[in-house]
């Protein structure tokens, strides 16, 4: 299923857990998996703590330190740092479905990670399993 999301900052992490959870519920799958896939080279998806917003802040600030903007990168668009961050985070994640719900840890959430925003973005979910 295709999902459209609007990002508002150059670097941000948007909690999409409720969108993924709703997709699973609509599928009526009680046991299986859901894959979340981001078809962009400057954005990604990850699972991490969703309770304390400081975790997201810490992740984004650490990525900015690890992969700073650099005018000497060869990529002409000037967003090589965004491509590198997306490669570090990854473009997909898979979550177990049990009893019709996501099998996430107590504090875990699914995050769309923007590294070259603001933009209008797409991500996909694919639910596979038994009803």
- Residues 103-121 have pLDDT tens digits of 999 999 999 999 999 999 9
Host domain of residue 35: 2-130
Q: The CATH number of the domain where 112 resides is what?
A: 2.60.120.460
Taking the whole predicted model, whether its pTM rises above 0.75 is answered as: yes
Cβ-contact 89, 44 below 8 angstroms? yes
Q: Which single residue is written with the structure tokens 């399993």?
A: 129
Q: Which residues of the chain have pLDDT under 70?
A: none
The pLDDT score that the predictor gives to residue 68 is: 92
The pLDDT score that the predictor gives to residue 72 is: 86
DSSP the chain: -EEEEE--SSSEEEE-HHHHHHHHHHHT-SEEEEEEE---SSEEEEEEE-S-HHHHHHHHHHHHHHS---TT-S-TTS-HHHHHHHHHH-SEEEEEEETTEE---TTEEEEEEESS-S-EEEEEEEEEEE-
Specify the number of domains making up the chain.
Answer: 1
Burial class (CB in 10 A: 0-12, 13-18, 19+), 126: middle
Cβ-contact 13, 56 below 8 angstroms? yes
């Amino acid at each position: 299923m295709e999902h459209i999301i609007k990002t508002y900052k150059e670097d941000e992490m948007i909690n999409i857990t409720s969108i993924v959870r709703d997709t699973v519920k609509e599928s009526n799958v009680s046991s299986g998996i859901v894959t979340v896939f981001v078809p962009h080279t400057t954005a990604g998806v990850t699972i991490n703590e969703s309770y304390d917003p400081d975790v997201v802040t810490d992740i984004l600030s650490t990525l900015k330190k690890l992969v700073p903007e650099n005018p000497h990168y060869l990529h002409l668009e000037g967003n090589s740092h965004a491509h590198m961050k997306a490669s570090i985070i990854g473009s997909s994640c898979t979550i177990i479905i049990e009893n019709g719900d996501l099998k996430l840890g107590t504090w875990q959430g699914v995050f769309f990670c923007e590294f070259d925003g603001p933009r209008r973005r797409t991500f996909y979910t694919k639910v596979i399993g038994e009803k």
